[in-house]
Structure 1
Amino acid sequence: MRFSWITLFFCFIGCSALCAQQPNKVSPERRVIDGRAQGTTYHIVYYSDKQMEKSAIDSILNDIDLSMSIYNNQSLISRFNQSDVQEVDMDVHMKNVIAASFKYHKLSKGQFDITVAPLVQLWGFGPKRISSLPDSIQIQNALKDVGMHQLKVKGRRLIKSNPRVTIDLNGIAQGYSVDVLAAYLMDRGIKSFVVELGGELRIQGVKPDGDSMKVGIERPVMNDGKMSLKQDVITVSSGAITTAGNFEKFLMDKGRKITHHIDPRTGYSYLSNMVSVTVYAPSAMDGDALDNIFMAMSPKEALAFADKRKNVDIYVIYNNQNGEIEEAHTKGFDKLFRVNQNLN
């Protein structure tokens, strides 16, 4: 339900030679389920004596789409976003994600805001084309319909005080979808797996031979003034890896870079020098929300913020004062990196 960025992408190495099944087959078997959902692809690798049905995975993702997809006119969220509707009875998926959205709205002091869609569209990052960039009057008018203070929850009901308010859960719902799939696997006794959806990952357990799960990560290097990407490896035994970035999706206006990360409090793009951020967190929903929050910060602020969060570590790519690409990460990320181990 959101963009998958080229700046920092992940591939489960179980699909490559590094994690290929050894000649002496070890039980349980390595199994794979692939498919398309939420405008992107999903890939599940798990170790089990029993085969999971792809139709069950597709059914789960379809249920989530019927709840929170803004691209499905019949979904619960699309009904709520209609101007003649002021409340809706939430299903379990929407209720979980809305509760988390309020949590991260408070944690970020209003930066994480699921009502920001009108501003995103105004700047040309929504589903409709624009003919020109907005002026201050247009931005001020749009801000009237933005703000989670115009939403409240009563039991299962989500209520908006302003009928023009719309919500978009793309910044958190895809991570939630990954967690739901992970819970489905664990409920069926599967203890070792990687679930990937649109670049968001949830990892659990080790391979039958005791080796850790490995994830490929692309890191920037400068050669003769030009940036290229090298592949490295991180190892994860449990938790989630998510990423956000602005490497591709941005506009230039009079020398100023305008990204799709719009501040819901001002209506303008953040002036951060961040290029991308990778988050390691206990759940994919946590990582999904946090990576958006980190993108609004300076690298120093992001690292300090992550250090205060339990079980959260980050890896950031940013532009220094000379416009050159640099990288930094929290100390906890050292445990994930296998430095200089190339995948080729």
Structure 2
Amino acid sequence: MRYLCVLLVTCTAFIHQPAWRKFQINGNAQGTTYHITWYAQDSTISHQQIDSILQKIDTSLSIYNPRSLITQFNNSTKGVVMDNHLEIVFNKSMEAYRQTGGIFDITVQPLVQAWGFGPRKVASLPDSAAIRSLKGCVSSLNLHKKGNSLLKKKTCARIDVNGIAQGYSVDVIARFLEANGIRNYLVELGGEIRVKGHKKPDDVKMKIGIEAPGENDFELSMIQKIISVDSGAITTSGSYRKFYESEGKKITHLIDPRTGYPARSELISVTVFAQDAITADAYDNALMIMGLNQALQFVEKRNDIAAHFIYRTANGSIGDTASRRFYELLQNAQSSALNGER
């Protein structure tokens, strides 16, 4: 009788277990769109909660918000007291600055603005004299952290964290989902993605497509490759993402702080995989500026990131390559496809 009761309780619990449901929230933030998908038996996450999180980040990190903490820092002569968002992003930015030998540099903002990618419109492109003058303000060594304050060593120092803020925002949303008991999700903001767990009820890994530029390097054509993962983040930087034409030239948003000019290399796009989106986002732009050989060597020496590169070959055709660990991700996706996962 005791075993029969146990069996009945077990069966009853199984019968009344809620089915997996797919939840989605889509919206606009940070000058782009976001898409969140998660799988759970039930959920109380709301669109308003997500928008509130992203708006709070904007009040800290947006150079387009005239009242944001970063705008206050840029307009100050000495600095500001940081909130938690700015402190985390600043610490990661300084780490990336050191690791890349100054190629990733959030103090590049004066040059970014001069080339027409800041919050103010510009009437003309900067000449060599203007660039030399602005470069004197560009170096993360001009920043100093004291307690929870971010201070300037030069009053002209200004920062722009757009190269890392979206990845950080994705991580913040991911942490919010996990704090609410969600273990199977995909968060995407402006093309920066973080995933965890599996698609339910099929229990298969999440699949992420890699953008492939068109023949002129400045247009998207289609998804080129797919990776399959159950944990981690993937971000992409490309010359086709933000640019404009001036005097017959395409000016990309990727400004090399070492030269003061838009980066010029054979790379068309770089896709980075890491365990969190802030790390992936911190390095994708820097790898684009490095160029293929240096970027590939840089990635292969690290065990915290993997990368895929699309580039223009010497004869004008488009080629692609990847780091060893990224090839493993591609092989895993192919194995999943052969095993019938969808």
> Under TM normalisation by the shorter chain, which class is it?
0.7 to 0.9
Map Cα deviations across residues 36-77 of structure 1 (whole Å, 9 max, x no partner): 111111111001122212211111111111111111111111
Letter in 1 for 2:69: L
SS at match of 1:71: coil
User: Does residue 313 of structure 2 align to residue 320 of structure 1?
Assistant: yes
Structure 2 gaps of 5+ residues are: 1-16, 338-342
- What residue number does 1:163 align with? 155
Q: 1:290 pairs with 283, 291, 295, which one?
A: 283
Aligned counterparts of 2:52 and 2:295: Cα–Cα separation in 1: 37
SS at match of 1:263: coil
- What residue number does 2:193 align with? 201
- Larger deviation: 229-238 or 93-102? 229-238
User: Does residue 180 of structure 2 align to residue 179 of structure 1?
Assistant: no
Partners of 2:193 and 2:233 within 8 A in 1: yes
Within-5 A mapping of 1:304-315: 304-315=297-308
Map Cα deviations across residues 154-203 of structure 1 (whole Å, 9 max, x no partner): 11000012222211110111100000111111112111100001100000
Aligned counterparts of 1:107 and 1:145: Cα–Cα separation in 2: 21
How far off its partner does 1:248 sit? 5.2
How far off its partner does 1:236 sit? 1.3
- What residue number does 1:71 align with? 64
Within-5 A mapping of 1:72-151: 72-82=65-75, 84-151=76-143
Letter in 2 for 1:331: R
Aligned counterparts of 1:61 and 1:87: Cα–Cα separation in 2: 24
- What residue number does 1:11 align with? none
SS at match of 2:93: helix
How far off its partner does 1:127 sit? 3.4
How far off its partner does 1:250 sit? 4.0
Aligned counterparts of 1:127 and 1:157: Cα–Cα separation in 2: 24
SS at match of 2:198: coil
Letter in 1 for 2:288: M
Map Cα deviations across residues 73-124 of structure 1 (whole Å, 9 max, x no partner): 1111111111x44121111111000000110010111111111111122223
Task: Give the structure, 1 or 2, with the largest relative contact order (CA under 8 Å, sep 6 or more).
Answer: 1
Aligned counterparts of 1:255 and 1:73: Cα–Cα separation in 2: 33
* Alignment coverage as a number of residue pairs: 314
- Larger deviation: 133-142 or 248-257? 248-257
Aligned counterparts of 1:220 and 1:260: Cα–Cα separation in 2: 16
Give me the CA root mean square deviation.
2.5
- What residue number does 1:14 align with? none
SS at match of 1:219: strand
Q: 1:243 pairs with 236, 242, 261, which one?
A: 236
- Larger deviation: 102-111 or 33-42? 33-42
Letter in 1 for 2:284: D
Partners of 1:221 and 1:230 within 8 A in 2: no
Map Cα deviations across residues 231-261 of structure 1 (whole Å, 9 max, x no partner): 5422111000100010254467888764322
Letter in 1 for 2:300: D
- Larger deviation: 72-81 or 245-254? 245-254
Partners of 2:209 and 2:223 within 8 A in 1: no
Letter in 1 for 2:153: S
Q: Give the share of equivalent positions with the same residue, in percent.
A: 46
Partners of 1:232 and 1:339 within 8 A in 2: no
Aligned counterparts of 2:68 and 2:136: Cα–Cα separation in 1: 25
TM score, norm. by length of structure 2:
0.85
- What residue number does 1:28 align with? 20
Map Cα deviations across residues 301-327 of structure 1 (whole Å, 9 max, x no partner): 212211111131111111111222111
- Larger deviation: 73-82 or 229-238? 229-238
SS at match of 2:33: strand
- Structure with greater proportional helix content: 2
Distance 1:125 1:70, change over 3 A: closer
Partners of 2:220 and 2:240 within 8 A in 1: no
User: Does residue 267 of structure 2 align to residue 274 of structure 1?
Assistant: yes
Distance 1:131 1:279, change over 3 A: same
Aligned counterparts of 1:234 and 1:294: Cα–Cα separation in 2: 20
Distance 1:204 1:124, change over 3 A: same
